[in-house]
Structure 1
Amino acid sequence: MAAEPNFPITAEQRSTAQQVAQAGVALSELAPNAPDSYTVKRGDTLWDISALFLKRPWRWPELWGMNLEQIRNPHLIYPGQMLLLERDGDRARLRVAGGPGGPGGPARLSPQIRDAGPSGGPIAAVPLKFIEGFLNEAVIFETDALDRAPRIVAAQEGRVLLGKGDAAYVRGDLNGVREWRVFQEPRPLRDPVTKELLGWEGTYVATAEYEREGAVNARGEIVPATFRITSAKLEANVSNRLAPAQPRDYAPYVPHAPSAPIGGHIVSVYGEALNAGQNQIVSLNKGAQDGLERGHVLALWRAGDLVRDTTQDGPAQALRLPDEKHGALFVFRVFNRMSYALILDVKDPVTRGDRFTEP
């Protein structure tokens, strides 16, 4: 038995819910093959189910806003529940089978005490398994702070590589911090259009804990501080830099469209790949200062091809075909000038310089 949290909802989403709470959703907004009923399965997400019923899943408040009790906590949807889509004239309402009012009654998923049972807890908003590892690991430094950060200068027994449990000897200003993350030398990230330097991406290596302070011994020799590698994604080595560990942000993700037009470009694909597909991570050249926030859904655009018109007499004329929308991004981590996003779905490979806009 566990008390379920009351996830927050934005003012804009609540306003949308209030507008459609009585009228329902226009049939024109439904997906062409929207089912009359659907039983929630383990592994489903709010995005999956919204996409099942709606042409544009980022407009989920219009789907889940059939009553204000539900929109207050749309995440409390559990595997095994049956969702019913009722059409009335040119409008539709989504209901939960067996809810108040009998079968097909209004969906009222208010906080309550519930036994999670073998199916587990409520469904997530998006596939969190693809971003959980990046919540602390994917970091953009807005200055070259890592160049001046504490650094590993030696390892025990003359080792070059360090793993979990190994001692690392560190020099630099520690400021009394005990928990640290270890990074490889950061790489600069530049705007693909303006070439402006936007920040430095640090490749996460490990976590380390301070054990013993450094000193100058009686012979005047510098003795570095002692650290212990507490976990490792990659092997740490001499010259790696340290940055203070940050508390993890456990605030829930609520997919929603930006409230104002926004446009930008993909800066990089996270990791070593040149192209990215569904469920991979990319960095964006827009951040909090541009109005981006956690949970924003963005549209991906494929640049139109350059072709030649050969349908008329005379020299073939060059034509640029229009850009085509071909995917969606979900923003999950926002820095001041840049952001990280998960590719929710996409038709063609995504690469540096590709364009995104509001959906």
Structure 2
Amino acid sequence: MKLISTVASRAPVLPLGLLVLALSNASPAYAQSAASRPVLPQQRATAQQVAAQGVPLSALAPNAPEEHTVRRGDTLWRIAGVFLQSPWRWPELWGMNLQDIRNPHLIYPGQQLYLERVGDRAYLRARRSGEGQVGQTVRVSPRNRVEVLGTGPLPTLEPHLIEPFLAEPLVVDDDTFQRAPRIVALANQSRVLVAKGDRAYVRGPADAPLLKAPGLPTDFRVFRTATALKDPVSGEILGYEGQYVGQAALVRGESEVDDIVPSAWRIGSSSTPRPTPVPATIDVVSSKEEMKAGDRLLPEPPREYRNYVPHAPDLPIDARVVSVHGNAVRFVGQNQIVVINKGLRDGVESGHVLAVMSTGPQLVDKTDKSRPVMRLPDERNGLAMVFRPFERVSYALVMQITNPVQVGDKMMNPTTLP
């Protein structure tokens, strides 16, 4: 901890941006890349409109405070939820403070936010009304505050919740997985499992051997037998989710040698050498679980710095929960991961916020003598945000929830609900 002396100034505080989910696989690069991240035209248009009008008081959270100091450990989603009923409506929150904002991707601990109510409208400022206006005398005096140095811009949610799912999940069709190179043997023949620092041997399909050459991948992720992701409505297989077990580096590619196969060792047989395959060599770079023969390799994807902007979908989305993550987990709560049966081909994209719906239970109408069976209406249960879409499925984080989520529950546009 260090004691910092500051002086009140007529200038606004550091650039304030509210509710852009900016989270990368390598957080140290976040601050550098955030400064150059563009603001989408639609976001800016919304912000400019709201900046001129403010937002209606009805859009504020019931207990919205008059001021809020950003603290270390805060998240942008949580801060937006402090002021607005719908945390994903970040352009409105940004627009309320448009004059003070230069980069909406950055917000730091120590910044102070002030809520102003004028008539039936509300505005959010990074300084109190009247501070720093031309022609006004501003009285300055020294003041002290204690702050931890070295804090970077805030993410929208706790990074550890989704970081593993940015790198580990893999959803492919069955043919892609079956044709992926496979571990066939271990360098240490006395063992059946390998871990970080160990060596193993790999073969690809006959028509696509694993080779090491310029332009070909040398870094791979290792996956175990894929699990089918089945649509709970149609029963269709939407893809196969591979179980991530680690990473490996290609040392040598596959080759062939002229060798005498064992069958030629028999008495009276020909001893003419035959081409014999030599598998590729890999070294295990990291391991979440120990690897074994039969595990599959797929190329390491290019490094990405994902920028998530929470927003409601423009197209109608009617999704179902395909699976929930966790060993022997049937129900999911807040800050847990689910897979839904909609993906890129359905218009789903990173940052889409969906309302979670609890399926209405079937009950017997005891007020009717014939005792008919009825089903109660589906009810809104919470919110989830898509953070990694694939072609036919997507991973979503449960942001808010009232009752546990389970396979088959619906997810739909949050703005179309009563």
Q: Tell me the TM-score normalized by structure 2.
A: 0.78
Measured in 2, the distance between the counterparts of 1:349 and 1:200 equals 25
Q: 1:259 to 1:290 in 2, by over 3 A?
A: same
- Which residue number in structure 1 is paired with residue 142 of structure 2? none
Q: 1:70 to 1:316 in 2, by over 3 A?
A: farther
- Which residue number in structure 1 is paired with residue 123 of structure 2? 93
How far 1:253 moved relative to its partner? 1.3
Which of 110, 123, 138 is the equivalent residue of 2:169? Answer: 138
- Which residue number in structure 2 is paired with residue 201 of structure 1? 241
Asked if 1:345 is matched to 2:400, the reply is yes
Which of 60, 72, 86 is the equivalent residue of 1:42? Answer: 72
Q: How does 1:1-359 map to 2 (within 5 A)?
A: 5-68=35-98, 73-97=103-127, 101-102=131-132, 118=149, 120-158=151-189, 159-172=191-204, 173-174=209-210, 176-219=216-259, 220-272=275-327, 273-311=329-367, 314-359=369-414
After TM superposition, the structure 1 stretch with the greater mean CA deviation from structure 2, 192-201 or 52-61, is 52-61
- Which residue number in structure 1 is paired with residue 23 of structure 2? none
Instruction: Tell me the amino acid that sits aligned with residue 336 of structure 2.
Output: Q
Instruction: Tell me the amino acid that sits aligned with residue 336 of structure 1.
Output: E
Structure 2: stretches of 5+ with no match in the other structure: 1-30, 134-146, 260-274
How far 1:66 moved relative to its partner? 1.9
Q: 1:307 to 1:72 in 2, by over 3 A?
A: farther
Q: 1:290 to 1:70 in 2, by over 3 A?
A: farther
Q: 1:12 to 1:184 in 2, by over 3 A?
A: same
Measured in 2, the distance between the counterparts of 1:216 and 1:144 equals 26
How far 1:193 moved relative to its partner? 0.2
Asked if the contact 1:152/1:168 (under 8 Å) is kept, the reply is yes
Residue aligned with 1:298, SS:
strand
After TM superposition, the structure 1 stretch with the greater mean CA deviation from structure 2, 135-144 or 155-164, is 135-144
Measured in 1, the distance between the counterparts of 2:99 and 2:200 equals 53
- Which residue number in structure 1 is paired with residue 10 of structure 2? none
Instruction: Tell me the amino acid that sits aligned with residue 188 of structure 2.
Output: E
Asked if the contact 1:58/1:297 (under 8 Å) is kept, the reply is yes
Q: 1:98 to 1:34 in 2, by over 3 A?
A: closer
Asked if the contact 1:298/1:358 (under 8 Å) is kept, the reply is yes
Q: CA offsets per residue over residues 91-113 of structure 1, 9 Å max, x none?
A: 1011113699449xxxxxxxxxx
Q: CA offsets per residue over residues 240-273 of structure 1, 9 Å max, x none?
A: 0000000132032111111122111011113432
- Which residue number in structure 2 is paired with residue 108 of structure 1? none
After TM superposition, the structure 1 stretch with the greater mean CA deviation from structure 2, 210-219 or 237-246, is 210-219
Measured in 1, the distance between the counterparts of 2:318 and 2:95 equals 28
Measured in 1, the distance between the counterparts of 2:38 and 2:361 equals 43
Q: 1:225 to 1:267 in 2, by over 3 A?
A: same
- Which residue number in structure 2 is paired with residue 113 of structure 1? none
How far 1:119 moved relative to its partner? 5.4
Measured in 2, the distance between the counterparts of 1:288 and 1:238 equals 33
Measured in 1, the distance between the counterparts of 2:129 and 2:285 equals 48
Measured in 2, the distance between the counterparts of 1:232 and 1:72 equals 42
Residue aligned with 2:248, SS:
strand
Measured in 1, the distance between the counterparts of 2:387 and 2:82 equals 22
Q: 1:163 to 1:300 in 2, by over 3 A?
A: same
Q: 1:231 to 1:98 in 2, by over 3 A?
A: farther
Q: 1:70 to 1:161 in 2, by over 3 A?
A: farther
Structure 1: stretches of 5+ with no match in the other structure: 104-115
How far 1:126 moved relative to its partner? 2.5
Measured in 1, the distance between the counterparts of 2:101 and 2:225 equals 45
Asked if the contact 2:320/2:410 (under 8 Å) is kept, the reply is yes
Which one has the largest radius of gyration? 2
How far 1:356 moved relative to its partner? 0.1
Identity over aligned pairs, percent: 50
Measured in 2, the distance between the counterparts of 1:89 and 1:194 equals 52
Measured in 2, the distance between the counterparts of 1:130 and 1:329 equals 13
Residue aligned with 1:351, SS:
coil
Asked if the contact 1:46/1:75 (under 8 Å) is kept, the reply is no
